[in-house]
Structure 1
Amino acid sequence: MNYFKQSSIILVVLLISCLLQQTHGHGMMLDPPGRSSRWRYDDSAPKNYDDNALYCGGFWKQTQNGNKCGLCGDDYSDALPRANELGGKYGQGVIVKSYYSSTLTALNVRITANHLGYFSMDLCNLDEFNGESDDCFAKYQLEFIDGNKRLYIGSTTGNIEAIVQFPKGVSCKHCVLRWTYTAGNNWGICENGNGALGCGAQETFRSCADISIVHSLRGMLEPAKQMAVELPVEVPEKVV
């Protein structure tokens, strides 16, 4: 395929993708609650009524940023610290839940508008890295119960349970669990050069939660602020 033809195909794909982005998929991590969703369980947390719309500034903005996204779902071009990163408006570092190490753990995500695609989960151990970074999240890419690192959700909406395996031998006083939802409803160029739905750049959602991972029950009972994750405060969904 010559350069001109390939460039023309890419341009057409980007135009189609923009037309498809008339509505946005929406989702948020609720158990453990992401930083922007903590207010649903903790009255002291700053409120973000748009906590189901952490989509990297939107697909067009994500494309302008070279398909880059903030570590925890903010617009990559935002000034540091971004709102949902440590030191930002919602990134206050409050530990919302503790887990046992090396165990299968059920997490909960709510999808309010489905755009196909898949979930992935990463863990950043701040005890090791002393700060959030791409390298920190890349070290521990969690596996789901079937052993895969991607959980395809089909057309499901509502609450989705995602069972993950925490890394063996890892414990931390402060870890950051990151949920990423990579949509799959855009048409793009696949690795084999053909065009197909779900290939190429896709809209991306992220949410980060501050957690700890312990080896024993004693560690679970150490003085630390934790919240019972039950029924969240409901707010009307934003009309897009």
Structure 2
Amino acid sequence: NMNMILSIIFFLTSCVISISGHGYLLEPVARSTAWLVDQSFRPCCTYSNHMEMFCGGITHQWSTHGGKCGICGEPYDKANKLFEKGGAMYTGKIVKTYTQGQQIDVTVVLTANHKGYFEFRLCNLDSNPNSEATQECLDRGILKMAGTDSTKWRDVDKYGSETIKIRVQLPSNVACRHCVFQWKYTTGNNWGTDPATGQSGSGMGIENETFMGCSDISIVANGSPVETLPPVIVTTNSPVKPGNPQTTTTTTTTTTPRPSGGLTTWSSSNVLYKVGHTVSYDGVKYLCVHDHTSFVGAEPGPLTWAWWKRID
């Protein structure tokens, strides 16, 4: 009948949409994306697939591992996770420092919108600085959206493929030298059935594609009481390297001011591009949407959505 035909068409459309989406945590910048904004990460940690931290894909995540995922978005069963402690691209470098109890601005970049919702979590590693965060620790530290009692940000479907800023409330009782901040995006484009109601539709089941990102941050105490922490139980399957997290170091970089005037040809020679600048690259015009300094490999295109938007 017609209802069945429409349901099949909707299901197939959802499948097509669901394979095209990508996203990443830009601020505080995720371990897998840090090379985009901090040149000190580029020699060790340039990762072109940083928009694909989706737990190995929906089938692998749910059919094989019952929904489990690495804390930074790598497949749960990956033997040596690149971005967890002991991994080849793990540094532990603190990328952002906040204040206890602060309302923080979090930036997420989506290159395709899957509906669904965002969640943010925090794990304090100070009680065991040689350990990695665990999902259990992160789940105990789920954060609320600023000014609300909600732990889910559900306005994803109001946006397109763009940069999204969300204000998140840090706990009033947490200060840390090294905390892991986690972004989790549970999409809403996959066909499923709600186990409670039996109703079927896009995003109604529990098996939805998931994107993750994890960042290393510090939270400075403001004099308020701070919680007493139990030790973090290490469950990561990556070898753990002893030592404390690195702190942000100052790097001196010589930048070249962008030539004045209108449209210019993009340059990789440490040119400072600011929001509103326009460039031409490979015959295509781009608009700068985020201040940054150029470098070889950061040319405008699909991998640099955080900086450039195609305008023709």
Distance 1:43 1:122, change over 3 A: same
**Does structure 1 conserve the Cα–Cα contact (< 8 Å) formed by 2:99 and 2:219?**
yes
**Residues 43-192 of structure 1 mapped to structure 2, 5 A cutoff:** 43-45=39-41, 46-63=45-62, 64-80=64-80, 82-128=81-127, 130-145=131-146, 146-152=148-154, 153-156=156-159, 157-190=161-194, 191-192=196-197
Question: After TM superposition, which residue ranges in structure 1, 4 or more long, deviate above 6 angstroms?
Answer: 15-18
Residues 1:198 and 2:221 aligned together: no
Query: Match of 1:25?
Result: 21
Query: Match of 1:9?
Result: none
Query: Match of 2:216?
Result: 210
Identity of aligned residues (%): 34
Could you report, residue by residue, the CA deviation over 1:176-207 in whole angstroms, capped at 9, with x for unpaired residues?
00000110011111021221221221000000
CA distance in 2, matches of 1:113, 1:211: 27
CA distance in 1, matches of 2:192, 2:109: 26
SS of 2:178 mapped into structure 1? strand
Query: Match of 1:7?
Result: none
Distance 1:68 1:21, change over 3 A: farther
CA distance in 1, matches of 2:95, 2:54: 22
**Does structure 1 conserve the Cα–Cα contact (< 8 Å) formed by 2:23 and 2:110?**
yes
SS of 1:162 mapped into structure 2? strand
Distance 1:30 1:226, change over 3 A: farther
The two structures, once aligned, show a CA RMSD in angstroms of 2.6
Q: What one-letter code is carried by the residue in structure 1 that aligns with 2:135?
A: D
SS of 1:212 mapped into structure 2? strand
Could you report, residue by residue, the CA deviation over 1:125-151 in whole angstroms, capped at 9, with x for unpaired residues?
111354311221011100002321000
CA distance in 1, matches of 2:173, 2:216: 19
TM-score, scaled to structure 1: 0.82
SS of 1:213 mapped into structure 2? strand
Q: CA deviation at 1:71?
A: 1.4
Query: Match of 2:38?
Result: 42
CA distance in 1, matches of 2:158, 2:58: 20
**Does structure 1 conserve the Cα–Cα contact (< 8 Å) formed by 2:105 and 2:165?**
yes
CA distance in 2, matches of 1:38, 1:227: 15
CA distance in 2, matches of 1:224, 1:162: 26
Q: CA deviation at 1:24?
A: 3.1
Gaps of 5+ in 1: 1-11, 218-222
CA distance in 2, matches of 1:57, 1:17: 22
- After alignment, is 83-92 or 203-212 more displaced? 83-92
Distance 1:31 1:227, change over 3 A: farther
**Does structure 1 conserve the Cα–Cα contact (< 8 Å) formed by 2:116 and 2:186?**
yes
TM-score, scaled to structure 2: 0.64
CA distance in 1, matches of 2:114, 2:209: 9
Q: What one-letter code is carried by the residue in structure 2 that aligns with 1:97?
A: K
SS of 1:36 mapped into structure 2? coil
CA distance in 2, matches of 1:77, 1:17: 30
Q: What one-letter code is carried by the residue in structure 2 that aligns with 1:225?
A: T
**Does structure 1 conserve the Cα–Cα contact (< 8 Å) formed by 2:184 and 2:210?**
yes
Gaps of 5+ in 2: 1-7, 224-245, 252-289, 304-312
Larger Rg: 2
